């Protein structure tokens, strides 16, 4: 942990979250633009990482993977920030573990595309989503207990978690009946993606000011 502390003394934790989002956007926007017949109603985020379906699939996958690494560092730094403000050490580390596991899900999603590694990609989604929902609710509770955080900041975590839950419900429904609510699932994925990216940027900007 001492080595991590030295890193965060030189580079504020918030920068890892904000820069991580920028890196992802640098990867995803060009991939969206070159994808044939791209639509927010029919093309999943993961489809952009499939070689042969997208000319920038490898480029996007590499930047997606790097994003996951940056998110791990952000979560570790955010954990230290919460502890400095008086949050329970045990609770913050439990939440940190959930956040890191969810970020590992991002790494797995970047490595295992939907065409060549369909089963592993599904596992990666579960690794990403379930801990992701839990750490957002946990952060909401931790922030609610700290006077440093206004109520709206704590509630933001719950709002983002709702986007996660919506997609997860549609994901499960679509697994039971593949033809049901397909477009809704695609839209829900893009919604939770940008909601999640917003969380990293907004939370990063918030702790940067503190």
Query: What DSSP letter does each residue of 131-192 carry, written as one string?
Result: HHHHHHHHHHHHHHH-TTS-HHHHHHHHHHHHHHHHHHHHHHHHHHSTTSSHHHHHHHHHHH
Per domain, the residue ranges of the chain are: 2-209
Reported residue count of the chain is 210
Between CA 179 and CA 183 the distance in angstroms is 10
What digits encode the pLDDT tens for the residues 69-105? Answer: 999 999 999 999 999 998 999 999 999 999 999 999 9
Q: What is the pLDDT of residues 38-70, one digit of tens each?
A: 888 888 898 898 888 888 999 999 999 999 999
Two structure tokens written together for 84: 């400095």
Q: SS3 of 55, please?
A: coil
């Amino acid at each position: 942990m001492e080595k991590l502390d030295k890193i965060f003394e030189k580079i504020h934790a918030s920068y890892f979250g904000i820069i991580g989002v920028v890196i992802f956007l640098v990867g995803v926007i060009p991939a969206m633009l070159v994808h044939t017949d791209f639509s927010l109603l029919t093309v999943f985020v993961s489809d952009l990482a499939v070689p042969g379906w997208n000319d920038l699939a490898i480029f996007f996958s590499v930047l997606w993977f790097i994003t996951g690494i940056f998110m791990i560092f952000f979560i570790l730094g955010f954990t230290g920030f919460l502890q400095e403000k008086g949050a329970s050490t045990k609770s913050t580390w439990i939440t940190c573990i959930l956040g890191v596991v969810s970020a590992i899900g991002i790494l797995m999603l970047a490595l295992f595309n939907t065409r060549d590694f369909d089963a592993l990609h599904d596992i990666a989604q579960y690794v990403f989503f379930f801990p992701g929902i839990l750490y957002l609710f946990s952060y909401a509770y931790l922030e609610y207990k700290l006077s440093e955080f206004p109520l709206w900041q704590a509630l933001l975590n719950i709002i983002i978690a709702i986007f996660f839950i919506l997609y997860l419900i549609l994901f499960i429904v679509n697994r039971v009946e593949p033809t049901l609510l397909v477009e809704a699932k695609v839209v829900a994925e893009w919604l939770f993606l940008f909601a999640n990216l917003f969380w990293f940027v907004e939370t990063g900007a918030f702790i940067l000011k503190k």
